Structures are given as C-alpha cells and as structure tokens.
Amino acid sequence: MAAPRAGWITIDPDACKGCELCIEACPPRVIEMSDQLNPSSYHFAVFKGEGCTGCGICWYACPEPGTITVYKQEKAA
C-alpha cells in the first residue's frame, strides 16, 4: 500500500522563466526541467508527481510570483 502523499505543487508553465532556483531549493528533489518550451521560449520547471512534502521552499525560492502553488495534505484526525 502506498503512503499518502504529504503535499504536491503545481507550476504555471507559462509564468516560469526556467531559472531552476526551485529545483536547487527542493529538499526531496521532485522538480525537474521540461524538454518543452513555454510561449516565452523558456524551458519550464515541472513537478515529477510524487515525493513532495509540501514544505514550500520552492515557492519561496521562485522569483516569479504566482508561478508555484504548494498544497499540503492535512493529517486525518
């Protein structure tokens, strides 16, 4: 049985400028660069889909406001 995920993120590919600061800042290393280009011709960061703790460090590291949204799973009572 898989462990419930602690958190996840979404990244707006159109807003990402490909600076890779979120990738460097992510403790569990769950963000990578896409091979695709966004409309501004930048490679953009993408969430790998699992392993996120919801710590939010990527959100703090990103210089583009609103690009990364962090979700944290609430613990069941």
pTM: 0.87
Answer yes or no: is pLDDT of 2 > 60.
no
d(CA 56, CA 17): 19
Q: Under the phi-then-psi rule, with left for phi > 0, alpha for psi from -120 to 50, and beta for the rest, what region is 36?
A: beta
Per-residue pLDDT reduced to its tens digit, 35-75: 999 999 999 999 999 999 999 999 999 999 999 999 998 77
d(CA 13, CA 46): 8
Give me the pLDDT at residue 3, please: 56
Give me the pLDDT at residue 76, please: 65
Q: Which CATH code for domain 7-11+21-71?
A: 3.30.70
- Domain spans in the chain, listed from the N-terminal domain onward: 7-11+21-71
